[in-house]
Structure 1
Amino acid sequence: MLPSANLGPSQDGPFSLGAFAIDEYNPIKVVVIGAGFSGIAAAIRFPQRVPNLDLTVYDQNAGVGGTWYSNKYPGLACDIPSHCYQYTFENKTDWSSFYSTGSEIRSYLESVVDKYKLMRYIKLSHRLIRAQYDEPSGKWRLRIRRPASQGSSPSTDLEEFEEFDDTADILFMGVGSLSRWGWPDISGLHDFKGSLFHTANFDIGEQTWQEATQKWKDKRVGVIGVGSSAIQVVPALQPHVAHIVNYVKGKTWISVPFGSDKLSELLHRDPNEENYIFTDEDKARFADPEYYKRFRHALDTELNAVYQCGLKDSAMQRGARAAFREHMQKALSKKPWIADDLIPDYAVACRRLTCGPGYLRALCEDNVDFVTTHIKRITSSGIETVDGRHEELDVIICATGYDYSFQLDFPVIGRGGVSLQEKWTPHPSTYLAICTDGFPNYFMAFGPSSSLASGSLVVLIERQVDYAVEATKKLQRERLKSIEVKKAAVQDFDEYLEHYFPKTVHSEKCRSWYKMGKEDGRVVALWPGSALHALRALEFPRWEDYNYELADGAQNRMRWLGDGQTYNEKMMKGDRAWFLNDDEIDVPPG
């Protein structure tokens, strides 16, 4: 592999011009894995900006939406304001509430897919089971599994699958960081004879959770966990079941309702309301483009104003701790002992922060128990804690999170036969959260270092897609065989991460998926800075941080200049004065 700085004159004989126009682009094949927010954005931007493109999006699910398709647990909702959890180019102005439901977000994504006619690219129920970079050709060799053709054989309870091979010039991974889950390691878990669920696999078919739980009014339900999923499940089920026991072994901050007095005034809402339901009048105002623009701008401005809360001993951090403590103690005044067991000693935002609409109120209801005694085992009829107490239960819901190691559950093999799993042991290492050395023509969204402690993740995902598109255009435009980030650049970003996080609360001792589910150690999930910082960092690619290989055995880096003309001149058709078009002329201010 030749670094771009060392590409010199041909050593294979006299140089010959390419028999192509400078903008006569070769066909290029892009494969995207995942049809959630990242994959859908990629399915829009790649065809929009890359000429002569062959695009396929594979998703293992039977529908689009990624985590918003696969998750159906009670109370599933967004934990940032709905209007900030959408594409910048595709506004939805009629969200039902400040924190929209999972089904509403899924419907939004389906509407985007329909509007931009993306199903022509998307293949559902197609699971990538192996990806390997082929060094001689500069292509990714992919192995895909899908259900066998329907109707060709008698019905069977065991679904049959078939596999096939595909290739890609560029592989874009959009599977996200919260897509791999497992059962908690609790003795006797699968001895339970009642209904057992994991929030990440709340298997209820095509029903809604409301439909699936209609017959639970006489049920006793155990909910294990105190993360964002449990905080949504408990208040969702509390009014509809006989009894809930929430088993909690950690502590967590529950934030005050989001939004300043200015924002509340703009919405005409009570600033203490936890999840404001938008009225018809609100939605009518949002239908006015100018009003909506002001509202969305104000909302995102506030969302991006809390970065300093994540800095150790900052004034904002001290203020947040005081405000959140007061909020939690007031909300738990009916059962004040819960506050003693729930309010953490660690800083606000050490772990993922949630507003938890309704959770504290639900804990105070008579049909909810809050248990901090550790679980000893699960029996056929319930849960036994280490103090010997046994609780009879009809339903157990494990809200115990995901695999946070960023280890994909299928092999991705780069140069020299090294897998991404090996490369990312003991922890992931990337360049600006979008690629890693040893894996040419490979880009990611929402991978390691991509999550945000503040700000809108969707905007960052859009920028990660934009970056991958620009790299693809460069590969195609300059007729390159491969583009691969330099190892030194990955190491430099690694060093930046190691020096950035110690000044933040995210490095403090608290069990968090930011640190791969550990109390201590390296912060692997978060971007090292604010959301706005991330957008600026990805705005202008540093192509000098990459190594390149030329295609077709070429040695002269200028071969991409072709035969000295553009395609329109060569074919004597099309616009041959495009530089005079309005979108090409940059008129300076007078």
Structure 2
Amino acid sequence: MKDTGRDGSSVEEIDFIPIAIIGAGFSGIAAGCRIKEKLGFSQFKIFERMDGVGGVWRKQRYPGVACDIPAPLYSLSFAQSTGWSTLTPSGEEIQCYLDGVCKKYEMINNIQFNTEITDLNWEESSSRWKISGFRLQREKERELFSLYANVVIIAAGKFYSPNLANIPKLPGIDRFGGRIIHTLDWDDSLNLEGKDVIVVGSGCTAAQVVPSLLASPHNAGSVTQLMRSAPWVRPKFISERLMSMWEQYMPWLTRHIPFLAGITRMIIFVITESYYYLLFASSIGRTRFKRHVLRYIHREAPAEYHEILAPDCEVGCKRFVQDIAWYESLNDPRVHLTTANLKVFEENAVVLEDRHCGLEKRIPAQIVVLATGYDISTFYPSMSTTGRDGVELHRLWTERGGPQTYLGIAVDKFPNLFILGGPNSTNGHTSVLINIENGVGYLIQLLKPIIMGDISTCEVKTDACTRWTSKIQDASNGSVWKTGCSNWYISKTGWNGTAYP
């Protein structure tokens, strides 16, 4: 059977699989492991665009990349690691952890690497999803393919498109003789020795990058960090002395004392979960937190930066930055932090403009590092998803004012389609893996009757989907998202992704 791809090329109809999972990051791996373990079902395939598992943790290779959630909580509850070297493991260590999980659950044979899914189409006549995409071959050749599946699970995540922060539109960028690189596309061969580096951004990534550029093997000559607005920074988890003790003794203890890893995880879960009630839902808690952070700034950061490091937004309006070494690095004479705007590129320099008085300053630059995060204005922008009656997912979300799902995992008019890590399913106060595992738990309950043949399709009702979204918005009344973030417009049916200054 032959079909036609988007570009008119011939496509071979190759297969049928009961369950198709898109993405081999934490979400996809968690779903696959639990389907095997809880349902005893292994007839599924995970499609991954990269050449290995890990998702964003495989993609991210910038200097200093690490987890900013305590390691015991940033691991799957059913596959606890007893070997974390530190509370804030590196990206490489997290990648090794995921490789180990796949080995334990014998997942590799269920994963098809170097494969990108571009189209999902629900066929009413067969009650199946038609999945189309391409395999990446050598020399960047692409082999188009399609197959059918009863169930599709989107576990693609949302951190794969870099936010370029309007950099390509700046004057003079074409004549800049240095290198401009986003942290998402880091080049391991990049030589920073003695170079003048500009870092654009002040979020979690920038807080990891700046200290790392100063240390070996990078040894940058100077680092100028451009900060649009100061983030709320959480102090270090524990003191350096306690961290040293943790790293020295905890791996041995968790390997030799049964249940210690689980107990440790539960304690950290309770502590981090309390942040929601203390900060997001309580104005009193936010006031206390502000005082604590401001004292921390004055204790750790140079006096010249105290004023600009004090955030002008409410606590919780932006994701917290976990301080590992950022404030300490600001004491290094090679580092300069500024709120000036990047205005013009020159061949070996950039021109900064003070946003208050308009004064310009020219500084040398050979490398510009964009630590500007991700473009998450659209979920799964490279994949077209069409459900019942020709309804396209992105168009439906646009009509309703923004991305929304029922319980974070399902959308009406899209039967047998489930989402992990979708709209309104993540948080800013604890590990995202908690939400992922909650979604997988619901998913297992929904998949069981389909696998057993008791039902053929499962689809959420329209009114249930819209009522759930309204419930979320109503529940946020009185929280920081409604009372403190006045610079964000939140519609009754969902965030429309538009920021107003």
TM range (shorter): 0.7 to 0.9
Matches within 5 A, 1:273-288: 278-287=246-255, 288=257
Whole-angstrom CA distance in 2 between matches of 1:277 and 1:379:
49
Q: How much does 1:454 deviate? A: 2.4
Cross-structure match for 2:462: 487
Contact 1:427-1:524 within 8 A present in 2 as well:
yes
Q: Which residue of 2 aligns with 1:431?
A: 406
Matched residue SS, 2:319: coil
Partner Cα separation in structure 2 for residue 96 and residue 49 of structure 1:
30
| Structure 2 residue 314 is the aligned partner of structure 1 residue 347 | yes
Secondary structure in 1 matching 2:225: strand
C-alpha displacement at 1:468, in angstroms? 1.6
Cα drift, residue 28 of structure 1: 6.9
Q: 1:183 aligns with which of 140, 164, 170?
A: 164
Q: Who is 1:551 aligned against? A: none
RMSD of aligned alpha carbons: 2.4
- Is the counterpart of residue 216 in structure 1 residue 192 in structure 2? yes
After superposition, give the CA deviation of every residue in 1:154-204 in whole Å (9 maximum; x if it has no partner).
xx5xx1111100111000000112222242212144543212210112133
Match of 1:78 in 2: 67
| 2:430 match | 455
Q: How does 1:190-229 map to 2 (within 5 A)?
A: 191-204=175-188, 212=189, 215-229=191-205
Letter in 2 for 1:401: G
Contact conserved, 1:28 with 1:52, CA < 8 A, in 2? Answer: no
Residue 99 of structure 1: aligned partner: 88
In 2, the alpha carbon distance for the partners of 1:193 and 1:421 equals: 39
For the pair 1:296 / 2:269, whether they are aligned, the reply is no
- 1:475 counterpart SS class: helix
C-alpha separation in 1, matches of 2:164 and 2:340? 20
**Greater length-normalized contact order (CA 8 Å, ≥ 6 residues apart):** 1
Q: Which residue of 1 aligns with 2:439?
A: 464
Partner of 1:322: 291
Q: Considering only CA atoms, is the larger Rg found in Structure 1 or Structure 2?
A: 1
Equivalent-residue separation in structure 2 for 1:183 and 1:190 (angstroms) = 15
2:127 paired residue among 132, 135, 138: 138
Cα deviation code 1:505-525 (max 9, x no counterpart): 1335559xxxxxx74435759
2 CA distance for matches of 1:422 and 1:203? 36
Are 2:371 and 1:399 equivalent residues in the alignment? Answer: yes
* Alignment counterpart, residue 235 of structure 1, candidates 193, 211, 225: 211
Q: 1:28 to 1:220 in 2, by over 3 A?
A: closer
Judged with a 3 Å threshold, the aligned counterparts in structure 2 of structure 1 residues 466 and 284 are, in CA distance, closer, same or farther, namely same
Q: Which of residues 361, 372, 376 in structure 1 aligns to 2:328? A: 361
Q: Secondary structure at the match of 2:363?
A: strand
Distance 2:278 2:62 in 1: 30
Q: CA deviation at 1:34?
A: 0.3
Alignment of 1:107-118 (within 5 A): 107-118=96-107
Contact kept in structure 2, 1:308 and 1:317, CA below 8 Å? no
Unaligned runs of 5+ in 2: 1-15, 354-358, 497-501
- Paired letter, 1:91: Q
Name the structure where strand makes up a greater proportion of residues: 2
User: Which residue identity lines up with residue 82 of structure 1 in the other structure?
Assistant: A
What is the CA-CA distance between 1:51 and the residue it aligns to? 5.6
Amino acid at match of 2:145: F
Equivalent residue letter for 1:398: L
Matched AA of 1:286: T
Q: 2:231 aligns with which of 246, 252, 259?
A: 252
How far apart are the structure 2 equivalents of 1:371 and 1:507? 30
User: Matched residues in 2 for 1:383 and 1:405: separation?
Assistant: 29
Work out the CA distance in 2 between the residues paired with 1:130 and 1:382: 44
Taking a change above 3 Å as real, the CA distance of residues 290 and 58 of structure 1, as seen in their structure-2 partners, is closer
Structure 1 window deviating more from structure 2 (39-48 vs 181-190): it is: 181-190
**2:10 paired residue number:** none
Partners of 1:278 and 1:401 lie apart in 2 by 31
Structure 1: which 5+ residue stretches go unaligned? 1-26, 151-155, 205-211, 512-517, 526-590
CA gap 1:311/1:388 in 2 versus in 1, 3 angstroms: closer
Q: Give the aligned residue type for 2:147.
A: D
Aligned equivalents of 1:127, 1:310: Cα separation in 2: 40
Match 1:378 to one of 345, 349, 353? 345
Question: Partner amino acid for 1:440?
Answer: P
Farther off after superposition, 280-289 or 502-511: 502-511
* 2: CA distance, partners of 1:507 / 1:55: 41
1:389 counterpart SS class = strand
In structure 2, distance between residues paired with 1:190 and 1:140: 45
Counterparts of 1:244 and 1:477, CA distance in 2: 59
* Counterpart amino acid of residue 413 in structure 1: T
Task: Please tell me whether the aligned partners of residues 221 and 394 of structure 1 are also in contact (alpha carbons under 8 angstroms).
Answer: yes
CA drift at 1:234: 0.6
How far the C-alpha of 1:385 sits from its partner, in A, is 1.8
Q: Contact 1:97–1:277 at 8 Å: present in 2 too?
A: no
Contact 2:80-2:262 within 8 A present in 1 as well: no
Residue 227 of structure 1: how far off its partner (Å):
1.0
Equivalent-residue separation in structure 2 for 1:489 and 1:377 (angstroms):
51
Q: TM-score, normalised by structure 2?
A: 0.87
Contact (CA 8 Å) 1:32, 1:39: kept in 2 or not? yes
* Amino acid in the other structure paired with 1:100: P
Matched AA of 2:274: A
Cα distance in structure 2, aligned partners of 1:82 and 1:138:
42
Task: Give yes or no for the alignment of 1:473 onto 2:483.
Answer: no
SS for the counterpart of 1:467 is helix
SS in 1 for 2:336: strand
Q: Deviations over 1:566-585 (max 9, x none)?
A: xxxxxxxxxxxxxxxxxxxx
- Letter matched to residue 392 of structure 1: P
**Cα distance between partner residues in 2 of 1:162 and 1:241:** 42
Whole-angstrom CA distance in 1 between matches of 2:294 and 2:98: 36
The amino acid of 1:174's aligned partner reads A
For 1:249 and 1:454, the matched residues in 2 are separated by 22
Identify if the C-alpha distance between structure 1 residues 313 and 296 changes in structure 2 by more than 3 Å, giving closer, same or farther.
closer
How far apart are residue 52 of structure 1 and its match?
6.0
Secondary structure, aligned partner of 2:223: strand
Is the CA contact (8 Å cut-off) linking 1:448 and 1:524 kept in structure 2?
A: no
Q: TM-score, normalised by structure 1?
A: 0.74
* SS at 1:474 equivalent: helix
| Aligned-residue offset at 1:33 | 0.3
Deviation at 1:44, TM superposition (A): 1.1
